[in-house]
Structure formats: structure tokens, C-alpha cells
Amino acid sequence: MAGFFGMFDASKPGPGVSKNEPKKKRFFLFWELYFRKFFRLIIANLLYALVSIPVVTRGLAEAGLAFVTRNYAREKHVFLPSDFFDTIKKNWKQALAAGILELAISACLIFDIIYAWDWLNAVQGAQFMPLLFFAVSFFLVVIFCYARYYLYMQIITFKLSFKQVCKNSLLLAIAGFKENLIISLALLAIYALAAVLLFNYFWYVLAPLVILYVLLFPAFRSFLIQFTIFPLIKRTIIDPYYKEHPEEDLDKRHDLNLDVEESPKTVLEDGEQAEDPDVIFTDVGKEELPEETIPKQYSAEEMRKGRRLQKNTKDSDDDGTI
């Protein structure tokens, strides 16, 4: 008798998931996915902190973290820390350039905001030129913050030149107003809470806030960004591409957990349809499942070994990008 009086029988298939299962609200799905990978995200956060200790390498850390959080947001598996560092290795030129560009633009915008604020305080009354300069500086800060939401996601996902990545980021900063606003409001709420705590209880909360930042915040911010912007990226970049190239990069679509239309089943001589060998899951609905054995469940060490063997046989140009 399998199992214990029919219970705990690994050979019995589970109830499965119907393809008509109603989708969860994205707010609840976000928190479900985040807490499902909570401790893995802490590890990713520590890797991020390690790589970004030299300020100029922050772009490398952002790229590695973007890959991890993108996959978790798309409900795909990640091998930590190997995937984190492999992503950096494959995209280090563009990621390093993006990080240095971010630092340079941030320094210029901070200087502009400070200069505009001092100019406003120095003049008597509301004058046009100081107000205009401050408004333009503030607008550029907003556009820059919005554009960087899309920077590293494109670097790790698409085969684009750095110029194209920057151009697309600026366009998406305007096109994705709703997504950008959601991300910004959530992050501003966290910044405001931290500022209030520091202003009122500085010496009591300084150390806990630093620890929370190192362990949690960058991964949470990146996960929030990847989860929120992917539908827009899919709608504006991925779907138009695959509409013109329906048969290309099927494996890349599976890597991003995108829906791929099933190939038609082959009709046999007796009129029955042969099962598609590439189909992993089938919709069983309310039908009774046949009793059959399930494949062997591999250990984590066996999976890592298989992954290393698979990587050695892949073409070196296959970097997981579209």
C-alpha cells in the first residue's frame, strides 16, 4: 500500500490548477510573491550591498538584483548567487555605464535643485525666472527617476544598444505614467516614514533603519519596480516584437513566463490526437485524474549540477536576452 493508509502517497497526482482559475488581484499577488521569496530576497540584498560598496559599481549590483527580482516577479526560479553574478558578467559593460551615468545625472540634478531653491529664497517675491528654473529642474528630476525604473530591466532582458536602452527608458517614463506613479508613491511613503522617524527619534532608530535598509530595502524596491513595469514592457516592447516574429525565441518567452500558443496536435491514423511532447501541464478540469507515477523530484544539488552541464553545452552568445 502506497503511503500510510492511502495518505502521503507521492505517486498520486495532485488536484492541479485549472486554466480557467480566476486571477488574483495584483495587489494581493504582489505581497504573496514577495513573502514567498522573502528570505531569498534578503540574500539578494546582501549580494547587492557587497557589490555596490564601491559606488561606481552600483550599476552592476542593480543589474544582478534586477534579474533576480524580475524572475521572482514572473514566478521563475533563480539560482542564488550564481545567477546574480552571471547576469553581472554578461551585462557588465552596459550596467557599469548605466551606473556611472546615473551618478553623473544625479549630481547635476541635485546641484540644480539646490541652486534653484537658493535663487528662490534670494529674490524678493515670486519672480518668473527663478520659478521657471525650479520647475524645469523638478520636472527633470521626476523624468529621471521614472526613466531609471526601466533602465536595468531592459539591459538584462533585451539585446539593445545602450543608446536604445536610454531612449526607451525616456519614452517609457512618459508612456508609463500610471505605473511610475504607483512606484513613486509607494517609495515616497517609505522615505517619508523613515524621515519622520529620524527627525523625532534619530539616535533610537538610526541603527535599526540602517539594518533594515541593508537587509530589505533595495530588493523590495527592485521587486516593486519589476512587478509593476513588466505588463507595460510586455505591452509596448515584447508583444509588438513577437507579433511580427511569432516563431522566434520561444525559449526566451518561457524564461519570462509568457504565454505561448500551443502547437496543433497531430492526428493519428485512427482519428485520435497525439499529445504534444512540449506540453508540460494539461487542463484536466473536473475530470478524474488517472493514477500514474510522477517524475523523480531532484535535489537542489542535482539541479545545480544539471544546470552547470546545461550551461556548458549552450552557445556562448545565448545570454537569456531577446
Would you say residue 121 has pLDDT above 70?
yes
User: What pLDDT sits at residue 106?
Assistant: 95
514566478: which residue's cell? 75
Please report, rounded to a whole number, the percentage of residues in the chain having pLDDT higher than 70. Answer: 71
Span of 126-135, 145-154, 300-309 with lowest mean pLDDT: 300-309
Confidence of residue 79 (pLDDT cuts 50, 70, 90): very high
pLDDT, mean of residues 115-144:
86
User: What pLDDT sits at residue 273?
Assistant: 47
Confidence of residue 309 (pLDDT cuts 50, 70, 90): low
Would you say residue 287 has pLDDT above 60?
no
What are the sequence ranges of the domains in the chain? 26-231
Query: Residue 67's CB: how many other CB atoms inside 10 A?
Result: 27
Would you say residue 299 has pLDDT above 80?
no
Would you say residue 310 has pLDDT above 90?
no
pLDDT in tens, 46-76: 999 999 998 899 999 999 999 999 999 999 9
Closest CA to 173 of 236, 258, 96, 95: 236
User: What pLDDT sits at residue 126?
Assistant: 65
Q: Are 154 and 169 in contact (CB under 8 A)?
A: yes
Closest CA to 152 of 108, 101, 76: 101
Between these two residues, 125 and 186, which has the higher pLDDT value? 186
Q: Which amino acid is at 177?
A: F
pLDDT in tens, 10-50: 455 555 555 556 678 899 999 999 999 999 999 999 999 99
Closest CA to 257 of 4, 85, 47, 33: 33
What is the per-residue DSSP string for 54-85? SGGGHHHHHHHHHHHHHHHHTT----TTHHHH
pLDDT in tens, 212-254: 999 999 999 999 999 999 999 999 988 888 887 777 766 777 7
pLDDT, mean of residues 161-169:
96
529664497: which residue's cell? 121
Query: Residue 45's CB: how many other CB atoms inside 10 A?
Result: 22
User: What pLDDT sits at residue 312?
Assistant: 57
Kindly report the average pLDDT of the chain as a whole number.
81
Highest mean pLDDT of the ranges 1-5, 59-63, 299-303, 306-310: 59-63
Between these two residues, 112 and 123, which has the higher pLDDT value? 112
